[in-house]
A and B are shown apart, each in its own frame.
Chain A
Amino acid sequence: QLQLQGSGPGLVKPSETLSLTCTVSGGSISKNSYSWGWIRQPPGKGLEWIGNVFYSGTTYYNPSLKSRVTISVDTSKNEFSLKVSSVTAADTAVYYCARHSYDSSGYHLDFWGQGTLVTVSS
């Protein structure tokens, strides 16, 4: 069974860079028809898609976050990563990693990690 495990610091200072990693087990990250992405959820609010990456390294980002976000993939480690720069309190959220199953008609997110709470505070 595919599993995704997110990891990274739970506390980040304002203006610094948030960094998270998602390790994939039970399957290869290097498969066509899948991409790997990040979604966040501020406390008490809804889901916000951040972006995704294919194993080739091709990325797509939410336009509202694009200037501060980088998603990368390391196929040798079967993991992918998220960086959000210049964070503020508005970036405080639970960050989820998820597999995106893809065909020409779009994506659905069929496997999710457990979520990592990241708090931005000095």
Chain B
Amino acid sequence: SYELTQPPSVSVSPGHTASITCSGDKLGNKYASWYQQQPGQSPVLVIYQDTKRPSGIPERFSGSNSGNTATLTISGTQAMDEADYYCQAWDNSTRKFVVFGGGTKLTVL
């Protein structure tokens, strides 16, 4: 089955740029989405179709996807961005199911 791999943790200083990667076989041929999950809260969609931001998501969140890697970039990272982040793609084989990465804990320190 299709698998997505994320680093367990990423650290960034306030005001700097954080990059979180998501790797999967030929991931660039699929659409990637990203979700932010604060402790005790439901996940929130922050990027879909590789680069699009839903209404209400700050411009500092951006995404890219090429080759085997999708990347979530947070520019000018703020303390409120400290959270778990999950990538997601769709296995469009005959089974057609959603796949999540294992998640990355972003620490702002």
CB distance from B54 to the nearest CB of A (A): 6
Size class of the B contact interface (CB-based, 8 Å) = 20 to 34
| Contact flag A105-B31 (CB < 8 Å), given A114-B42, A115-B42 | yes
Contact A49 B42 (CB under 8 A): no
0 or 1 for each of A58-80: is its CB under 8 Å from B? (1 = yes) = 00111110000000000000000
0 or 1 for each of B79-109: is its CB under 8 Å from A? (1 = yes) = 0000000101110100111111111000000
| Contact flag A62-B97 (CB < 8 Å), given A108-B45, A109-B33 | yes
Contact B98 A107 (CB under 8 A): yes
- A residues with CB within 8 A of B: 37, 39, 46-49, 51-52, 60-64, 96, 100-101, 105-110, 112-115
Known: A47-B103, A105-B90, A113-B42. 20 other contacts (CB 8 A): A37-B98, A39-B100, A46-B86, A46-B100, A46-B103, A47-B43, A47-B86, A96-B42, A100-B98, A101-B48, A105-B49, A106-B31, A106-B90, A108-B45, A108-B49, A109-B33, A110-B45, A112-B42, A112-B44, A114-B42
- B residues with CB within 8 A of A: 1, 30-31, 33, 35, 42-45, 48-49, 54, 86, 88-90, 92, 95-103
Contact B48 A108 (CB under 8 A): yes
Among candidates B31, B48, B102, residue contacting A110 with C-beta atoms closer than 8 Å: B48
Contact A106 B97 (CB under 8 A): no
